[in-house]
Amino acid sequence: MILAVDIGNTTISLGLMKGMRVTKHYSLETYSNPQTLSKQLSVILRKMKSSKISGVAICSVVPTKTKSVEVCIKKVLGLSSVDIGRDLVVPLTNRYRNPKQVGQDRLVGAYAALKMYGAPAIVIDFGTAITFDVVSAKNEYLGGIIVPGIRLSAESLFNKTAMLPKVKIQCPRALIGRDTQGSILSGLFYGYGALSSGLIERISHAIKGKPKVIITGGHLELVKQFISHQVNKVDPDLVFHGLALLIAL
């Protein structure tokens, strides 16, 4: 059993893995106050103590939270964590001009896509930000694209306008909105669907191939229907799978 921990900008996700199968999944708010986070994390970890966990892998894009999570895991489970990027480098040739600028979650997802589904590949993560990551047929991380995520865009409309309401993130009823909420939701989902479809086509042309398209992320279930005709694989646990693959190296 492996404990995979993905520390993201919105949530800290924990996956208890048996081989490549996620047997249990827990989530916490990343920016809970330290005392609350430690208490909630300790409760979750105690539930796992009987699972005979042999290793812990952490992927983090929030360095200020990494240490406190590691300390809590050590205290409750008695295990040291493997921190991706610090203790273990993702074995992809990184073509970023400054490789340190790439979030470890993006590299872990790209590696999982390569190993599980083949390359060339485009990994789209519908999270706090929407990221497009490209892996070449030569097993290279070529780079990617970052755009604001669905929730960020919705909150920006509410915060930066006088009359637009805060909307609940849910699928629109129709393409053409018949009220303000419907219009915003249509813009978000059909808009991001069209953006994703267009970028898949442009990336495919740029790398002169037909890449596999793998989608993941917190808003995956809401967005997938808008680009389903271009998607080869839907994998909500892609980062967990990558962490399990990496810790087995």
Give the active site residue among 6, 83, 105, 235. 105
Are the C-beta atoms of residues 166 and 157 closer than 8 Å to each other?
Answer: no
DSSP 101-162: GS-HHHHHHHHHHHHHH-SSEEEEEESSEEEEEEE-TTSEEEEEEEEE-HHHHHHHHHHH-S
Are the C-beta atoms of residues 62 and 30 closer than 8 Å to each other?
Answer: yes
Count CB neighbours of 29 within 10 A: 12
Residue 179 annotated as catalytic: no
State whether residue 172 is helix, strand or coil: coil
SS (HEC) of 16-74? EEECCEEEEEEEEECCCCHHHHHHHHHHHHHHHHHHCCCEEEEEECCHHHHHHHHHHHH
Nearest to 91 by CA among 246, 208, 198: 246
Which residues have a catalytic role annotated? 105
